[in-house]
Amino acid sequence: MSAVDNLAEKKTPTAVLCGPDTGIAFVGCGYVADFYAATLPNHRLNLRGVFDARQERAETFGAFHKVPVYPSIEAILADDSVEIVVNLTNPSSHYDVSRRCLEAGKHVYSEKPLALRLDHASDLLELASRRGLGLSSAPCSLLSETAQSLWHALRGGVIGQPRLAYAELDDGAIHQMPFQNWISISGAPWPYVDEFRTGPIMEHAGYYVTWLTAFFGPATAVTSYAGLLVPDRLAGVDPGPPAPDFACAVIEFASGVIARLTCGTVAPENHTFTIVGDEGVLSVDDCWNFGAPVTVRTRADSARARHHYLTGPRTYPLVRPADYPHRYTDTHDMDFARGVADLAASVRGEGRQHLTAEHAVHVLEIVLAMARSAAEPARVRIDSTFAPLAPQDWATDQFEADVVALRS
Ligand SMILES: NC(=O)c1ccc[n+]([C@@H]2O[C@H](COP(=O)([O-])OP(=O)(O)OC[C@H]3O[C@@H](n4cnc5c(N)ncnc54)[C@H](O)[C@@H]3O)[C@@H](O)[C@H]2O)c1
What is the per-residue pLDDT across 384-399, written as a single tens digit (0 to 9) for each?
999 999 999 999 987 6
Alpha helices in 78-191 (DSSP H): 91-103, 118-131, 145-155
Q: Does the pLDDT at position 19 exceed 80?
A: no
Per residue in 292-344, pLDDT (tens digit) is: 999 999 988 765 666 678 988 999 999 999 998 898 877 789 999 999 999 99
CA-closest residue to ligand 1 atom 4: 32
User: What is the CATH code of the structural domain delimited by 20-137?
Assistant: 3.40.50.720
Q: Is the beta carbon of 113 within 6 A of some atom in ligand 1?
A: no
Give the 3-state secondary structure percentages of the chain, helix then strand then coil, rounded to 5.
Answer: 40, 20, 40
Q: How far is CA 192 from CA 119, 181, 183, 233, 329, in A?
A: 27, 10, 11, 10, 20
Task: Kindly report, as residue ranges, where domains of CATH 3.30.360.10 are found in the chain.
Answer: 142-320+354-398
Are residues 358 and 180 in contact, defined by beta-carbon separation less than 8 angstroms? Answer: no
- Mean local confidence (pLDDT), 253-262: 98
Instruction: Please choose from 89, 111, 196, 288 the residue to mutate so as to test ligand 1's pocket, defined by most ligand atoms within 8 A of CB.
Output: 89
Q: Is the beta carbon of 91 within 6 A of some atom in ligand 1?
A: yes
Q: Is the beta carbon of 37 within 6 A of some atom in ligand 1?
A: no
Are residues 97 and 27 in contact, defined by beta-carbon separation less than 8 angstroms? Answer: yes
Are residues 87 and 28 in contact, defined by beta-carbon separation less than 8 angstroms? Answer: yes
Distance from the CA of 191 to the center of ligand 1, in angstroms?
8
> CA-CA distance, 334 to 147, in Å (whole number)?
12
Q: Is the beta carbon of 285 within 6 A of some atom in ligand 1?
A: no
Q: How far is CA 371 from CA 53, 168, 364, in A?
A: 29, 17, 11
- Mean local confidence (pLDDT), 183-202: 94
Q: Is the beta carbon of 194 within 6 A of some atom in ligand 1?
A: yes
CB atoms within 10 A of CB 129: 12
Distance from the CA of 199 to the center of ligand 1, in angstroms?
14
> CA-CA distance, 328 to 335, in Å (whole number)?
8
Q: Is the beta carbon of 30 within 6 A of some atom in ligand 1?
A: yes
Nearest atom, ligand 1, residue 89 CA: 24
> CA-CA distance, 311 to 99, in Å (whole number)?
51
Alpha helices in 217-335 (DSSP H): none
The pairing of beta strand 273-277 with beta strand 219-227: unpaired
Q: Whole-prediction pTM value?
A: 0.93
Task: Kindly report, as residue ranges, where domains of CATH 3.40.50.720 are found in the chain.
Answer: 20-137
3-state secondary structure of 44: coil
Q: Is the beta carbon of 145 within 6 A of some atom in ligand 1?
A: no
Instruction: Specify the pLDDT at position 358.
Output: 98
Q: Does the pLDDT at position 165 exceed 90?
A: yes
Q: Is the beta carbon of 379 within 6 A of some atom in ligand 1?
A: no
User: What is the CATH code of the structural domain delimited by 142-320+354-398?
Assistant: 3.30.360.10
Alpha helices in 157-191 (DSSP H): none
